[in-house]
Structure 1
């Protein structure tokens, strides 16, 4: 690339592993096109990033900013995975205090663009002050963003204030839709139990992120949710670029001999094709002891082989007495990190019981795995409704108000998704999605279109 056309792009994600990784993926795409990238985050989060390939390392500069101290936020907590749900707003308050060091960086570096996340409500005006073009990169589906609402409603006065308000289709959605929250999914966010210690509601963050951007990029495609993208374009009234799904990639080759993968692969190799249910609920979702108990007994009752990943030993200690001994011939409970992409890619895995975080959904459908849906927090409930509406999975039946579920509902949902004849169409649909979610060339073309927009529409001139 001729030097005069090289962009300098700053990239600034929210402090969550599920945001850091896709933002790094975009950074790598930019570097592959010859552009310079400054990837900005806090010190511990920078250390969590996957390795940058040697051929791109000279083009991606990692910029570490110390996270300011905030009363009530645990020491060394720099990611949403480091704090419980009721401390998330304190993490956002600390994040907001990064405005000053980021201003110093922007003033000194003057990048052409900054790609930012929904949380950075203060960033667009800061970037404009220094003549930096602004790209809002959303990791939420167009359906989710449409449900959240148009910027003017979010910024001025969202009429929704109760959990029940969020359990109905909002007036700005003009077509029939099942994409709504269950009361239990949203109540923790509106009943004051988690407070708003950051001083800025998530609604306002979403509204300003969209309203004050020059372009919005979304991790989706027009083939997957055309009606929602068309609606979102009307609600946002600015350039909108679906950039595809950033499909999963295998971990670095040097991890092939990792002891964890060796024993996992050995176990999977002994199972029939498409017979195993992979169970993982992400880095933030936490189940109560009662929910863990019912999930465990439901998996046992299903009679199907399963590989269940638990985040920590505390959760393992809350499993039903004798559970692991009883299922030792058919199931594994693993505590800690696993190479999820490798597991989902294995031929023995047929289904994925997931919390419906969008990263996990993309990885599951990228390998054509039918989904069993158990949403817990954030956008996960909306994702579950979208996926069930598109016949890509089975949602575990739960009490509408308290979210409780039974072992019977777990077992029935798993068997419907995995083995019952009535679920065959779901399995077929999920396999079809591999060509949409998992096709690298198909998705790369969408990213290329977004990068061309950045190249052709920057505010600054070199």
Structure 2
């Protein structure tokens, strides 16, 4: 006889920004259902990171299944996550390469369904469109995980899905969003090729598959909370399928602990700054943005000339190393440069951090909000320009770095960066956005606690899935 115990299978997309929130969701589900079992699908190169991220959970509850990621004509052997790609021009070929995992995935599903505790549901990244077909073969409900917020996802669906840019010539012409008359966007708020009059290409074809797969899924999981964007959540659920469930902020399920034997060097540095009552700006632009040599130089000069203390989690291409030669010496004592992987949530939660200069990826944005750290938005790609718009205009928890020509997208000069950092870290504007983010942080924390909106949503969803069995 099959067990009614909850067994959740998860398949994250192979990118740090996509894996981390799904691993945080595992921890959150465990809080709700301590007896639940988990099966997590990944590839050999990603397994160590995933396993190490879940050491706080009882090992007998988690099963890891590695699927061999076969090289293709464009993706070489060993490259199994987007941060390993030599260029983001290979992002689309990488997406298509994930489709080769489907036969192995289905073989594993077949075996799992023959066990005493079969899979209750599959939670897979929206990019892994083919998993919905596989899940349906074994009568497993699939939940699509959306790394975007409701605001950006709704605007993309309305504007791109409705082909509303087809007759818009100017990239900066303001367009009122149908159904949301208080929102105006431009073509430049959207990434290429979606902002073109006739979007086409292999990425468009792939995304169409993803959207169709999501619409055929049991539900849509969103790393957000109802109170943050209720108007956009309601709009989605009234006009589109499947039902969206806000079950975040997922970063609050992760409670990092500092080991004195393995304490990062930035901890003492920030402790010292805090003791000196020095405000520190945290600077990070994510794992996927490719910053041009010219833009990197302007950012460096702007930070140097701002005279503000800063901690920079620096990720650059190998051929850009010569650009940053001498930077650490020039800012010694005032700036700290961190290389490699850092626990961003832990950094943001340090009391010495007073602002976050960020690309406005959604994970980074929610981590800032939850840590009560105001956002200085410098978006670069994907939906980040819409996230920045939301942060500044809707939530009022940050300021925007302006481009040199005033357009939504464009080049940022060092003088502008210096100016806005001074304004952002100062008393007048800085205190205003800080008060707003502190209030929003309280709501965010309440939402995932027992009785909060996200707690209720996740509890209801898990109960529905268990009853379905």
TM bucket by the smaller chain? 0.7 to 0.9
Measured in 2, the distance between the counterparts of 1:320 and 1:19 equals 29
Measured in 1, the distance between the counterparts of 2:211 and 2:158 equals 7
Shift of residue 367, structure 1, vs aligned partner:
1.2
- 1:149 aligned onto 2:157: yes
In the alignment, what sits opposite 1:57?
A: 59
Shift of residue 10, structure 1, vs aligned partner:
1.2
Measured in 2, the distance between the counterparts of 1:228 and 1:209 equals 21
In the alignment, what sits opposite 1:120?
A: 128
Give the alignment of 1:195-234 within 5 angstroms. Answer: 196-197=201-202, 200-202=205-207, 204-234=208-238
Cα separation, partners in 2 of 1:402 and 1:348, compared to 1, 3 Å: closer
Aligned with 1:140: secondary structure? coil
Shift of residue 51, structure 1, vs aligned partner:
3.6
Measured in 1, the distance between the counterparts of 2:41 and 2:173 equals 37
Shift of residue 52, structure 1, vs aligned partner:
2.2
Aligned with 1:432: secondary structure? helix
Aligned with 2:220: secondary structure? strand
Is the 2:149–2:222 Cα contact (8 Å) retained in structure 1? Answer: yes
In the alignment, what sits opposite 1:14?
A: 13
Q: TM-score, normalised by structure 2?
A: 0.87
Cα separation, partners in 2 of 1:264 and 1:253, compared to 1, 3 Å: closer
Aligned with 2:372: secondary structure? coil
Unmatched runs of 5 consecutive residues or more in structure 2 = 114-118
Cα separation, partners in 2 of 1:173 and 1:101, compared to 1, 3 Å: farther
Is the 2:401–2:416 Cα contact (8 Å) retained in structure 1? Answer: yes
Measured in 1, the distance between the counterparts of 2:44 and 2:451 equals 30
Shift of residue 112, structure 1, vs aligned partner:
2.0
Cα separation, partners in 2 of 1:313 and 1:89, compared to 1, 3 Å: closer
Measured in 2, the distance between the counterparts of 1:117 and 1:14 equals 6
Is the 1:345–1:367 Cα contact (8 Å) retained in structure 2? Answer: yes
- 1:25 aligned onto 2:31: no
- 1:425 aligned onto 2:427: no
Shift of residue 316, structure 1, vs aligned partner:
6.2
Give the alignment of 1:225-304 within 5 angstroms. Answer: 225-248=229-252, 249-254=254-259, 256-258=260-262, 261=264, 263-272=265-274, 273=277, 275-304=279-308
Is the 1:244–1:443 Cα contact (8 Å) retained in structure 2? Answer: no
Matched pairs, number = 450
- 1:134 aligned onto 2:142: yes
Measured in 1, the distance between the counterparts of 2:347 and 2:302 equals 22
Shift of residue 384, structure 1, vs aligned partner:
0.6
Aligned with 1:103: secondary structure? helix
Is the 1:179–1:386 Cα contact (8 Å) retained in structure 2? Answer: no
Q: TM-score, normalised by structure 1?
A: 0.88
Question: Which of 335, 338, 346 matches 1:342?
Answer: 346
Aligned with 1:416: secondary structure? helix
Shift of residue 301, structure 1, vs aligned partner:
1.8
In the alignment, what sits opposite 2:386?
A: 382
Is the 2:27–2:57 Cα contact (8 Å) retained in structure 1? Answer: no
Is the 2:283–2:358 Cα contact (8 Å) retained in structure 1? Answer: yes
In the alignment, what sits opposite 2:116?
A: none
Question: Which of 56, 72, 87 matches 2:90?
Answer: 87
Shift of residue 269, structure 1, vs aligned partner:
1.9
Measured in 1, the distance between the counterparts of 2:57 and 2:98 equals 31
